Amino acid sequence: MFDLRSYIAQQNKLVNEYLESIYQKADDSLRIVQAMKYSLMAGGKRLRPILCLAAAEAVGGEAVDVLPAAGALEMIHSYSLIHDDLPAMDNDELRRGKPTCHVAFDEATAILAGDALLTLAFEILSSVQISEATDSAKWLSVIRLISRAAGYHGMIQGQMLDISSEGQQLSRCELESLHLLKTGALIEASLLSGAVLGGGNYQQIEVIERYAQNIGLAFQVADDILNVEGDPELMGKAVGTDQLRGKSTYPSILGLKESKEFAKTLVRNALQALEFFDNKSDPLRAIATYVIERKH
């Protein structure tokens, strides 16, 4: 039986060692480097890089070959969290059980640390040693995938919609569109990047895309549920904040029970897509269930 806990621990170690190797080349005496590292190495699930590695393995590739993409994705995710926590956005003071970046340092430093992580991610993606023309095409495709998902076509537009819709009651369709952009886009890019760099063929990549769309939305539905009934100590941040900010969520639109059923349906859809693969995709199968069963 597949052991997800061991797999996550192993892949987490791989990602963290890679990220540490990046910072070994940086000057730790610089305040901006301290702020970047404070947020990036503060823990967390490392879900996006792990999904990237798992997708590469599912199509027959090697996790180690896609580490630059996995590391870059975590940097982009960390930058987005730093900016989400700012007073102008969600004004959160805790993240992963620690003071948020703007609290630990200051608001200006937090803004710049986020900017620096985003730009460093693309420096890493564009610095990969390429051995063949086909590899160049794959990495260029991945840079486009990730930049589109992180930009105004994806995560940024989702965040903008999230801010502008506070205090309004969105329809279920509007909420789904918002979450597919804000959360789903980068999760989808993580999986597709792994599949592309792992050497996946057209059909394999198409299957991974179907899996990704369902998992990306399931993750956000689970987040909405945790914001209602999660344990703040386990989550490392406050709960009930969505309601306080007047945000539309799945529990507020569908109800808690119906939201849980919807999340299960999304996971079933994701698992159905993976029937195309053999046991190399067992990590993706296990992660699908983990997404809605997690406590933080």
> pLDDT tens across 55-70, in order?
999 999 999 889 999 9
Q: Which of 209, 203, 81 is nearest to 145 (CA)?
A: 209
Domain range for 51 is 4-293
Q: For position 134, what pLDDT does the model report?
A: 66
Q: For position 133, what pLDDT does the model report?
A: 63
Q: Which of 130, 17, 129 is nearest to 70 (CA)?
A: 17
Q: For position 232, what pLDDT does the model report?
A: 82
Q: For position 213, what pLDDT does the model report?
A: 96
d(CA 91, CA 102): 9
Q: For position 131, what pLDDT does the model report?
A: 66
Instruction: Supply 227's token pair.
Output: 């914001």
pLDDT tens sequence across 250-296: 999 999 999 999 999 999 999 999 999 999 999 999 999 998 888 77
Query: DSSP E strands: which ranges in the chain?
Result: 94-95, 98-99
d(CA 87, CA 36): 18
Could you give phi then psi for residue 25, rounded to 5 degrees? -90, -5
Q: For position 149, what pLDDT does the model report?
A: 98
CATH of the domain at 11: 1.10.600.10
Per-residue pLDDT of the chain (296 residues; tens, 9 = 90+): 889 999 999 999 999 999 999 988 889 899 999 999 999 998 888 999 999 999 999 999 999 889 999 999 999 999 999 999 999 998 999 888 899 999 999 999 999 999 999 999 999 999 998 766 668 999 999 999 999 999 999 999 999 999 999 888 899 999 999 999 999 999 999 999 999 999 999 999 999 999 999 999 999 999 999 999 878 877 677 788 888 888 889 999 999 999 999 999 999 999 999 999 999 999 999 999 998 888 77
d(CA 62, CA 207): 19
The answer to whether residues 71 and 142 touch, using CB atoms and an 8 Å cutoff, is: no
Q: For position 185, what pLDDT does the model report?
A: 96
The vertex-73 CA angle with 138 and 42, nearest 5°, equals 155
Q: For position 84, what pLDDT does the model report?
A: 94
d(CA 192, CA 200): 9
pTM of the full structure: 0.95
Residue 237: CB partners within 8 Å, gap ≥ 6? 92, 94, 95, 96, 97
| Average pLDDT value over all residues in the chain | 93
Q: For position 25, what pLDDT does the model report?
A: 85
AA letter at 176: E
Q: Which of 112, 89, 91, 90 is nearest to 39 (CA)?
A: 112
Provide the domain count of the chain: 1
Could you give phi then psi for residue 258, rounded to 5 degrees? -65, -35
d(CA 78, CA 72): 10
Q: For position 182, what pLDDT does the model report?
A: 93
